[in-house]
Each structure stands twice: as C-alpha cells, then as structure tokens.
Amino acid sequence: MRRILIAEDNARIATFLEQGLQKNGFMAKLATTGPEALSNALDGSFDLLILDLGLPGREGLSVLEELRGQGCQLPLVILTARDTITDKLAGFELGADDYVTKPFRFEELLARIRARLRVVVPANPEHELMLAHHGIVINLRTRLVKVGERIVDLSTREFTMLETFMSSPGQVLSREQLLDRVWGYNHAPGSNVVDVYVGYLRKKLGNNMIETVRGIGYRMPI
C-alpha cells in the first residue's frame, strides 16, 4: 500500500486529506510543522509528500529546498493558498512535482497524486525518470521522447504539454488548465495557442494520441 505524508497545520484540511486518501487505498501520516515534515520525508518510508507552504517552525519552500539539496527525490505536491505566478515558479524551480492551490477539489488532487506515483523511479540510480503510455516513452531528465523505436523532436512547450497529458491519462484538460500548466500565465481572450500545440503534437505523435472532448478540452485516452 502506498504511503503518503501530509504536511499541513490546518487540522480540518489535514483530517479531510487523511480520510480521503485512506478511502482511496492509501496510508497517510500527518506532519504539522516544517521540521516534522522534513524529518519524516527524509526517512525513506513514504511514496509522496503533500506539502503546505505555510508551516510553523520551518516554511514549506525551505523544507522543499532542504529535501532536494539532500538528494531526496520523493515525489512532492505543493498544496497551498498561495496562488501567484511567483509562488508557483518558486515551487517548481526548487523541485516540486506539482502545485495545487486552495480551495481545491479532492478529486483533482487525487488525480495528480496518482499521476505522480505512475512516474517510474528505477532502483538503478543511473537510470532516469520515465513516463510511458500507449507506446510513447518520455525521459523527464534528458527530455528524450520516443514513439516505439522512433525518436521525436519536441519543443519545450510541446514536451511540457505532452508530459501534462501523460501524467493524467483519461483526464479531460480544459484549455485554461493547459494554459496554466504549460505556459504559466493567461493569454489574451480568444487565443488558440493550445489548439495549435495540440495540432503540433498530433502531427508528431499520431492523430489518435490526443482526443478532443467537444466543448471542454482535450485528453490522452487511457
């Protein structure tokens, strides 16, 4: 059974997360301070960390920086009320795997947790982090993409969009969600940049790799 560490000092939110994760087949443990979160995350017994940024004793970004500085590659999802682009960029630059803002829907958080846990971390440290789905394999460190035996050259935006789809197969992603996750800021109303880049990916990967969900957005089929 996968074990998840919840670093959250709000008792109501912490209990909500703990109960929700347990109902979905996970074991969960709570840490209510920054030092407690850091100590537990470093002991090697957890599969993922949900990290609030406003922790007492040691701020969440400091905990994240220390974890990555010590070589800890524990999958980590930030869950916080801080919703500015500056905060998000700081989290990703320090090594967060995902960033969810409060208020949040538990179903979306659960989907993101499951997506992070699908990333394969081989026992051999010389190997790289990989995502694989429907014959597509992407290397998250070298950013190499293969479809079968064919190497596909993707731009930075194309790679990030593909990683977003592969991290959530079957999940419908709206254009707004894709703009936020791939570009990190809002484009002018009416921008068709998401549709353009989906078209680029279809040409390079195959038309059936990304489905259109009319009136909503796009998804990678399960």
Task: Tell me which of 182 and 173 has the higher pLDDT.
Answer: 173
CATH number, position 74: 3.40.50.2300
In order, the DSSP letters of 29-83 are EEE-SHHHHHHHHHTT--SEEEE-S--SSS-HHHHHHHHHHTT----EEEEES--
Q: What is the pLDDT of residue 195?
A: 93
User: Domain total for the chain?
Assistant: 2
Final residue before a domain boundary, out of 117, 143, 168: 117
Query: Does residue 209 share a domain with residue 103?
Result: no
Residue 36 lies in a domain: yes
Q: What is the pLDDT of residue 2?
A: 84
Distance CA 89, CA 20 (A): 28
Query: Does residue 147 share a domain with residue 112?
Result: no
Query: Does residue 193 share a domain with residue 109?
Result: no
CA dihedral 111, 14, 185, 108 (to 10 degrees): 20
Residue 125 lies in a domain: no
Q: Count of CB atoms within 10 A of residue 123's CB?
A: 5
**Domain assignment of residue 63, given as a range:** 3-117
Query: Does residue 212 share a domain with residue 190?
Result: yes
Task: Tell me which of 58 and 115 has the higher pLDDT.
Answer: 58
Query: Does residue 8 share a domain with residue 113?
Result: yes
Final residue before a domain boundary, out of 84, 117, 150: 117
3-state helix, strand, coil in the chain (%, to 5): 40, 20, 40
Query: Does residue 146 share a domain with residue 202?
Result: yes
Close Cβ partners of 44 (under 8 Å, ≥ 6 residues apart): none
Query: Does residue 135 share a domain with residue 103?
Result: no
CATH number, position 208: 1.10.10.10
Final residue before a domain boundary, out of 85, 117, 149: 117
pLDDT one-digit tens code per residue, 4-62: 999 999 999 999 999 999 988 889 999 999 999 999 999 888 989 999 999 999 999 99
Distance CA 221, CA 133 (A): 9
Distance CA 85, CA 197 (A): 22
Close Cβ partners of 144 (under 8 Å, ≥ 6 residues apart): 138, 151
Instruction: Assign 25 to helix, strand or coil.
Output: coil
Query: Does residue 176 share a domain with residue 103?
Result: no
Residue 172 lies in a domain: yes
Q: Tell me which residue of 205, 127, 215, 120 sits closest to 165, measured CA to CA.
A: 205
| Token reading at 168 | 């959530």
Query: Does residue 142 share a domain with residue 109?
Result: no
Asked if residue 123 has pLDDT above 50, the reply is no
Query: Does residue 178 share a domain with residue 138?
Result: yes
pLDDT one-digit tens code per residue, 49-95: 999 999 999 999 999 999 999 988 899 999 999 989 899 999 999 99
Query: Does residue 136 share a domain with residue 102?
Result: no
Are residues 121 and 73 in contact, defined by beta-carbon separation less than 8 angstroms? Answer: yes
Q: Tell me which residue of 95, 32, 88, 98 sits closest to 67, measured CA to CA.
A: 95
Query: Does residue 167 share a domain with residue 62?
Result: no
pTM greater than 0.85 (yes/no): no
